[in-house]
Amino acid sequence: MPGFELWGAEEQKEVNDVLETGILMRYGFDGARKGIWKAKELEAEICNTFGSQYAQLTSSGTAALTTAMAALGIGYGDEVIMPTFTFVASFEAVLSVGAIPVLVDVDKTLTLDPDAVKEAITPNTKCIMPVHMCGSMANLDALRNICEQHDLLLLEDACQSIGATYKGKAVGTIGDAGTFSFDFVKTMTCGEGGVVMTNKEDVYIKCDGYTDHGHDHKGGADRGADDHPFIGYNYRISELHAAVGLAQIRKVQRFLDIQKKNYSQLRQIISQVPEVTFRSVPDPDGDSCTFLSWFLPSEEITQAFVEEMKSQGILGGNFYWYKNNWHYISKWDHLKNASLLTGLSHAVTEKLRSYATQKFPASDAIMGRCISTSISLAWTDEQIKEKGEKMVAAIRKVLTAQHNLV
C-alpha cells in the first residue's frame, strides 16, 4: 500500500538537489535556489498525472481539506454532509472552518449512502463530502446528481484513494475540489503533505493564497511586494517534502500495478470461502486496490475472526475499523463530547453532542462485519499465498465453531 515500501535512489536524488542549495522553503530565495523548485514541479506532475487543471500543495491532507473548504466558501453555520466511516481528519477540517459536520450512514461501498445523504439535507447544507475510503470510490454519479438538484458543493476527500478512478477520471478531480494526503502511509508519500486539486481557477487562486498567509504571489522575486487580499494561514509544504513526492509520483503507476496484482491474488484465495463477500465498488476497474475490504456473515463471527488472528499473532494488516479508535463514529468520544481546546458556536456544540445518543444501525450492520486487509507492495507470490491460506484457515475455524454452537 504505502509508497515508502519502495523507497530508493530516486527519492534521495530529489532530496539531495534541495540540500545542495540549502533552500528548504518553497517560496522566495530565487537566486540561491539555482532553479530548483520541487513544489512547483510536483504540482505540475500532479496535474499531468491525475488530470486536474490546478493543484496546490499543502503541509498535510488535513490542511488540504481545510484549505479547500475555505476556498469554496464553507464556513460558520454551514453543514457539511460526511460519512460515519472516515479518518478523524475529515471532521477536524470541517470544524476548523466553523462548519457543522453532519454524519450519515455508509453503504456497502464503505462510503456515503446516497439515500442517507438525501435525508440529511437541510436549508443549512452547503456541501456533500464523500470520503473515498480504503482505495475505492463513492457513487459519484448519484452524489453529483444530488448536488445539482440542491445547488450544493461536492468536495472529494480522496486522501485514501490516490490513483483510483471513476469512469475514467481520477477521484479528487471530479467535484468542485478534491484532496489527497501524502503522509507516510499513503500510496505515494511526501513524508508529510497534501494537495488540493480543482478545475476552477478562482478556487485555485484562493487556495494559493490561503496556504501562505494570504500572499497573492504577484510581487515577483520580492515576497515583500506581494499583496494580501485576504487572511490566510501557514499550510505550506517544504521543498524537502515536495522533493520526496516528486520521486514518488513518477513511480505511482508502478505502485498501482503491483497493488492490483497482489490484491487480485489475495482476493482469489479468500474467495474460496463462500461465506465471504466483498465491498461494492462503483467502478471496479478504477479501484486503486490499497485494501481488500470484505465481509463475514455477522458481527459475532467477524469479532471471533479478529480474536483468532490475534491469538495466532497474524492479525497485522487486517483492520477491524468497527473497533478502531480513529476511523468509526462509535469510538469518537472526543467528537461526541465536543472536546476542543478552543470555543465552538452553540450550533456546532449542539450537533456534536447529539451524536452521543444518535444511532447509526445501517452503518453498524456494515462496519461490524467488515475487515480491510492492506495490500503490501513488498509481498512475494509465496507470501500472498501464505497470508491468504492463514486467513482462510482462521475464517473456516470460526465458522465451524459458530455452526457447532447453533
**Annotation says 186 is catalytic:** yes
The residue assigned the cell 472536546 is 339
φ/ψ of residue 196, rounded to 5? -105, 130
DSSP string, 160-217: T-TT-EETTEETTSSSSEEEEE-BTTSSS--BS-EEEEES-HHHHHHHHHHTBTT---
Question: Would you call 131 helix, strand, or coil by DSSP?
Answer: strand
Q: Which residues contact 195 (CB under 8 A, 6 or more apart)?
A: 43, 46, 55, 56, 57, 58, 64, 179, 180, 182
Nearest to 40 by CA among 221, 243, 309: 243
Q: Strand 54-58 and strand 100-104: pairing? A: unpaired
Calpha distance 345→42 (Å, rounded): 38
Catalytic residue among 186, 206, 351, 387: 186
In one letter, which amino acid is 172?
Answer: G
DSSP run (H or E) holding 74:
none
For the sheet containing 177-181, what is the strand order?
54-58, 194-198, 177-181, 153-157, 125-128, 79-83, 100-104
Do 38 and 237 touch, CB atoms closer than 8 A?
Answer: no
> Is residue 144 classed as helix, strand or coil in its secondary structure?
helix
Secondary structure (3-state) at 125 = strand
CB of 376 closer than 8 Å to CB of 325: no
Question: Could you tell me which residues come within 8 angstroms of residue 271 by beta carbon, excluding any fewer than 6 positions away?
Answer: none
- Rg, C-alpha atoms of the chain: 22
Distances (CA, A) of 153 to 64, 73, 148: 16, 10, 8
The answer to whether 290 and 252 are in contact (CB under 8 A) is no
CB 336 within 8 A of CB 355: yes
Active site residues: 186
